[in-house]
Structure 1
């Protein structure tokens, strides 16, 4: 790739979204997750917004998906195969104008969840979108990176330097790989991601570019937020960084969802940072605390005054380990 990956707030010609298709993975949460993704897709496909390409990963799920979106303008149901819906990680990263896209090796987040077909998703999306892929011989998930559109890439050491991805990687080796594959000009390194995040600390749950030189990251909300120290370390690190243009990073702190636990009250990696920036809208995942979600949305409105800020529940999707950003991938216009 010769020019940097466009920022997510730049115009898109389409947005890929994964459809929950595997009852054996989602079990009792399959129908609730489908309802949450349906709400996301309908919000994305609103007037003047996205052309949604909904990738269905199993033949048995096709008829239901087609029936749900029959007559909905802006939604194309695509028959495909995947292990699970996390297209941000398994799909390609599109370059400027979607003239090309970068594809990477995928190993199930360090060997934790190796599911059939996940390593073919990039090829399928490349073929369906008509975009030629440049293949890179190293392991990388799209959710491990965030882009400012000018060549600054934000990532975490916990994920990118994890020996379960690319053995022997150092910051220098990773930076060289990102420069070659994605035209990175500067890489900003954060430390650890959220507690119990099976992705080993993907940055799209932790900190996100929201404008040139501006990064949003959480501040702990309520009592017992398990990531309080992580959030403060991230904000401090960012405040001491500059982007590829040499401009100091401004930090926009937004309330976290607070403590969110599973059925055993073990903390799960819920994050408002997994918002999705779309044409005309920003879709923000919520997890049951309306006040925290409202304050996060108000903060995002300060940087996106011309976009509708749409909070939507993502509790069932979170049971699979991620949220709206994790299940999507944009094609830049």
Structure 2
């Protein structure tokens, strides 16, 4: 079942929480609502669920206008951030709860309910935990029980509010991979809220990036990461360096680095900021044409990756560069060394327009 939102707005007294939200989600897509705290993503999820009412706008599930329908009538599965499991019920009873609460006229038989519960526990890899209680489970196991319960009634749409935020980093990473595989096996249209960029980039088919109640960009993980449409997107999605320079005679100038911009049109002389990811920078110990010179002030090793912090004259902040450990050993870089670098991929935002350079 696809989902379409048209001109959704939400106001609380004098505060506009959501401003003219429009997007469509295809059947079976796994979509991340991503953004900083307070950007409106959870409010939007609750409006889609029918747990809150929009001030204006419409929501369609495929071709059906569900705007006036309650959460129960919309037939959605909702996974809460804090699991919301019943502590006095064991795992099987938690999963079966929604099925047993259905009106008698449409309620499955006891045998059919048991079969459905066993099937779901097998899907979430908890078939051996049916008789345990929530307090006897790990955080990751509780989250999978909550997911199984949400799926028990075969909902049209699955909604997840910060599903992994309460878990430690290792469990969170394992569950992200599991959720992606699990979702594609079920092929149920799903939306999950997160403020974790890595989570959205790793799990989602599509990312809807929000800021201050508005949508900044919609696209695949590769599109929003590699081709950010706004400075906010470039800055929010992963680490990024801000290289301060200027445009003069249609040429971008950052220190000794220059890049002709005529292919992108005619540009007025102005200051400019280039957004460059740490891994999109080429370094050398000897000067090359068009290099920027700096000095290594810090080296930090994180497994197979080495992070160099470089001080550059004329730049307000140090520049971060990430290289493989093998490259680091080959370059023999040490703190205090003078080093030369140039960006491989640049995004700059001038005159409200994105200009992208592959060097």
TM-score, length basis structure 1: 0.26
Higher-RCO chain (CA-CA 8 Å, sequence separation at least 6)? 1
Q: Which has the larger radius of gyration?
A: 2
TM-score, length basis structure 2: 0.24
